[in-house]
Amino acid sequence: APLGALLSVVVQPLRPLVSPCFDLYVKYGPQEDRPVFERPEMKAMFCRDIVAATEKGIRAPIYDLSLFSRPWPFDPANIQVPIHFYHGDADTIVPLSHSEYLAETIPDTTLEVLEGLGHFAGFMSAPRVLDRIGEVWDQREKSDASLSPKELELPSRDSSVA
């Protein structure tokens, strides 16, 4: 908390520099992510997000960083829904090995490695991701059509996996 409070004081005056700092990141950051950030609407979205995230200080982002170094409060092997991961093989922020581990650990999971794409591969592959969501949705509707109304009810919070 003290580090977050201190950094909040330092970051507040820097908020007007978000656009030029973003431009520097695009220029010198991972080459694989540049096509995403060169789109004006993406720059506008990310700059708005950065300003909003720092509006009340940066305690929350500092807390997020501290959580990255801690074990999760659940076992990923207990996840009981199908998952389809997309991961750029040129991601310099989250190693591909993280998605590979989760794909091996979580039942009914697939991993699609996106060649030559970086951390923001999802933005570069939006049509592919949305097509996959549509396929899963269609499959789910077909399987749900054969279920009774009772079987379609969501589980209560008491029966959820901790």
Q: What pLDDT sits at residue 84? A: 92
Most confident of 24-38, 45-59, 102-116, 126-140: 102-116
Residue 121 CB-density burial (10 A; 0-12 exposed, 13-18 middle, 19+ buried)? buried
3-state secondary structure of 139: helix
Q: What are the phi and psi torsion angles at 14 (to 5°)?
A: -85, -10
* Alpha carbons 21 and 126: distance in angstroms, whole number: 26
* Residue 113 pLDDT grade (very low, low, confident, very high; cuts 50, 70, 90): very high
Which residues face 111 on adjacent strands? 85
Give the closest residue to 10 by CA, choosing from 57, 78, 42: 57
3-state secondary structure of 112: strand
Share of the chain above pLDDT 70, in %: 80
Greater pLDDT, 156 or 74: 74
* Alpha carbons 141 and 86: distance in angstroms, whole number: 23
**Dihedral angle computed from the Cα positions of residues 12, 17, 21 and 22, in that order, rounded to the nearest 10 degrees:** 90
Element housing 136 (H / E): helix 126-145
The tens digit of pLDDT for each residue in 87-109 reads 999 998 899 999 999 999 999 99
Q: Indicate the average pLDDT of the chain.
A: 82
b (16+ CB within 10 A) / e for 83-92: eeebbbebbe
- pTM exceeding the 0.75 threshold for the entire prediction: no
Q: How many CB atoms within 10 Å of residue 106?
A: 20
